[in-house]
Amino acid sequence: MIYLTLYWEFFRIGLFAIGGGFAAIPFLFDLVNRHPWYTSEALVNMIAISEVAPGPIGIRMSTYAGFQAAGVLGSIVATLGLITPGIISIFVLVRFLRAFSSNPYINRFFYGLRPAVTALVAVAALDILRIAILDFSLLPSSPNIEAVSIISLILLVVLLAASRWIKWYSPLMMLGTAALVGVIFRL
């Protein structure tokens, strides 16, 4: 029964998370509330680790959740559930787009999907921000919330300014800075 549940839940995520792995994050947060496969803190850690590792984020998340729920077979079933809608939709869309590629309504439909995908990614970013930065219950001691908020805001402004004006910045520099901030918050 767990395998059928895993397949169905990740099939639904694969079906409705249009736009890639980051669009799947709100659905993965929803799974936290309905199934004991992982916690929201574990999901934030999965996202952080998935950003560093190669490959699609949704696949890694489904594999991890499936493994947590039912071992190796569970990870395979969850991953298959996630990719099945994509495979089906590719076959259907190729036939559909060939027949209707010059239809203005179809072109407007795809243009209209862009804001929906942007909204899904924004919701995911807010959930991650809420847990990773604003959830002070995860910290070992109770910090001064005002001081941490001011430091976070200053760091955000500095990082944005650096990425705007410094042309030689690299993702490794941003990753290292974020790791340093994480270490500082945990002290």
Q: Tell me the DSSP string of 68-132.
A: HHHHHHHHHHHHHHHHHHHHHHHHHHHHHHHHHTT-HHHHHHHHHHHHHHHHHHHHHHHHHHHHH
179 with 153, same domain: the answer is: yes
Residues with pLDDT less than 70, the chain: 19-20, 53-54, 126-127, 129-153, 155-175, 177-178, 181-187
121 with 155, same domain: the answer is: no
A 10 A CB-CB count for 13 gives 25
53 with 13, same domain: the answer is: yes
Last residue of a domain, one of 132, 154, 177: 132
Give the predicted TM-score (pTM) of the model: 0.55
Per-residue model confidence (pLDDT) at position 84: 93
Q: What is the pLDDT of residues 127-143, one digit of tens each?
A: 676 666 665 555 445 55
Per-residue model confidence (pLDDT) at position 77: 95
Per-residue model confidence (pLDDT) at position 101: 74
93 with 121, same domain: the answer is: yes
Per-residue model confidence (pLDDT) at position 17: 80
